[in-house]
């Protein structure tokens, strides 16, 4: 399957192609990125907006090519910051968040759309993935394990400040 095939399939399954990123829901449901994955943010990416389960919310993402394998990349995963909980859903007092040079830069930007525009053509690497236990969104006592990415720049090209 190619990136274009994955985009076409996503649209058939209810995703919409939209013209810009807005504040987006963070989701790990369809995140297939793995430690050591490297990819270039395409110059001509298509922004997909898909429903998150039956929540009434949507998540925005692009499809990237990782060594010939199309994978979903959710820019909102670069700014994830959640309260850690124990198995009884009691806060531990610790925050879980993303790390790495890309995440640090991304958090300084005005908005997702502008940041992604600046990242076109830049190569990034998923340097690490750290799982953490968090409360399920909208739940009182349910927990789930979510992944917190460490994402770093690779190569010479960097976005302008």
Q: Residue 17: inside a domain, yes or no?
A: yes
* Closest of 130, 131, 26, 139 to residue 89, by C-alpha: 139
Number of domains the chain is built from:
1
Q: Residue 126: inside a domain, yes or no?
A: yes
Sequence length of the chain is 161
Token couple for 121 = 């053509």
Encode the chain (161 residues) as per-residue pLDDT tens digits. Answer: 999 999 999 999 999 999 999 865 556 555 789 999 999 999 999 999 988 777 778 889 999 999 999 999 999 889 999 999 999 999 999 999 999 999 999 999 989 999 999 999 999 999 999 999 999 888 889 999 999 999 999 999 999 86
Q: Residue 64: inside a domain, yes or no?
A: yes
| Domain containing residue 81 | 3-154
Token couple for 55 = 């929540």
Q: Residue 15: inside a domain, yes or no?
A: yes
Q: Residue 116: inside a domain, yes or no?
A: yes
Q: Residue 7: inside a domain, yes or no?
A: yes
- pLDDT value of position 125: 98
Helices (H), the chain: 3-12, 101-106, 112-119
* Closest of 28, 120, 140, 9 to residue 73, by C-alpha: 28
Q: Residue 161: inside a domain, yes or no?
A: no
């Amino acid at each position: 399957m190619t990136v274009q095939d994955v985009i076409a399939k996503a649209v058939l399954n209810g995703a919409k192609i939209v013209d810009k990123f807005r504040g987006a829901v963070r989701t790990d449901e369809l995140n297939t990125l793995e430690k050591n994955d490297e990819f270039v943010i395409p110059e001509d990416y298509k922004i997909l907006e898909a429903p998150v389960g039956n929540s009434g919310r949507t998540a925005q993402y692009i499809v990237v090519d990782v060594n010939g394998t199309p994978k979903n990349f959710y820019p909102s995963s670069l700014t994830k910051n959640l309260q850690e909980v124990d198995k009884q859903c009691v806060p531990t007092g610790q925050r879980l968040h993303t790390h790495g040079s890309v995440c640090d830069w991304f958090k300084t930007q005005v908005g997702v759309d502008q940041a992604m525009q600046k990242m076109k053509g830049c190569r990034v690497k998923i340097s690490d993935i750290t799982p953490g236990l968090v409360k399920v969104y909208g739940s009182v006592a349910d927990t789930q394990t979510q992944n917190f990415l460490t994402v770093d720049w690779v190569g010479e090209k960097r976005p302008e400040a």
